[in-house]
C-alpha cells in the first residue's frame, strides 16, 4: 500500500544549529504533506503543511521543502532549541483529510 517513511530514526544536533529532518513518500496523489511534532506523553502537534502544488513553505523558524520529482519532503528547523526535542512525523492526507504517518524521527538537542 501507499506509505510515508523517514530516512533517519534519530537526529542529534547542537543547540543553535539548524536541523533537517527528511521524509520519503510514495503516494503521488496526496493533496497535502504535513509535519507533526510529538513530545513524550502527548499527542502529535501540527507544525506546518504544504500543498502538493508547492515546493516550499515557511513558518516561524521552520521551512518545509517538497521535491515531487524524487518524492521527498524535508523539515528545516532554524536555531534549534531544547524545546524542539521531540519525535517528528511527516504525514500525507488522503480522502477525508485522514492522515497517513511515517515512523518518526527522534530529534535530540544537545546543550
Partner 1 sequence: DTGVSQDPRHKITKRGQNVTFRCDPISEHNRLYWYRQTLGQGPEFLTYFQNEAQLEKSRLLSDRFSAERPKGSFSTLEIQRTEQGDSAMYLCASSLGQGSTEAFFGQGTRLTVV
Q: Is 104 in the site for partner 1 (CB under 8 A)?
A: yes
Half-sphere exposure in the Cβ direction for 12 (13 Å, CA): 2
Q: Is 19 in the site for partner 1 (CB under 8 A)?
A: no
Q: Is 58 in the site for partner 1 (CB under 8 A)?
A: no
Question: Strands, E, within the chain: which ranges?
Answer: 4-6, 10-14, 19-25, 32-38, 45-51, 56-58, 62-67, 72-77, 86-93, 99-101, 105-110
Phi/psi region, residue 45 (left: phi>0; alpha: psi -120 to 50; beta: rest), is beta
Nearer to partner 1 among residue 19 and residue 93 (C-beta): 93
Nearer to partner 1 among residue 7 and residue 15 (C-beta): 7
Of 49, 64, 73, 85, the one binding partner 1 (CB under 8 A) is: 49
Nearer to partner 1 among residue 17 and residue 61 (C-beta): 61
Residues that bind partner 1 (CB under 8 A): 4, 32, 34, 41-46, 49, 89, 91, 93, 95-104
Amino acid at each position: 500500500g501507499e506509505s510515508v517513511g523517514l530516512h533517519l530514526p534519530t537526529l542529534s544536533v547542537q543547540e543553535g544549529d539548524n536541523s533537517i529532518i527528511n521524509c520519503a513518500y510514495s503516494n503521488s496523489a496526496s493533496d497535502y504533506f504535513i509535519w507533526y511534532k510529538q513530545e513524550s506523553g502527548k499527542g502529535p502537534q501540527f507544525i506546518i503543511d504544504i500543498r502538493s502544488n508547492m515546493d516550499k513553505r515557511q513558518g516561524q523558524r521552520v521551512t518545509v521543502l517538497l521535491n515531487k520529482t524524487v518524492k521527498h519532503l524535508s523539515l528545516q528547523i532554524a536555531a534549534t532549541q531544547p524545546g524542539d526535542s521531540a519525535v517528528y512525523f511527516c504525514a500525507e492526507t488522503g480522502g477525508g483529510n485522514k492522515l497517513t504517518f511515517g515512523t518518526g524521527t527522534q530529534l535530540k538537542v544537545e546543550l
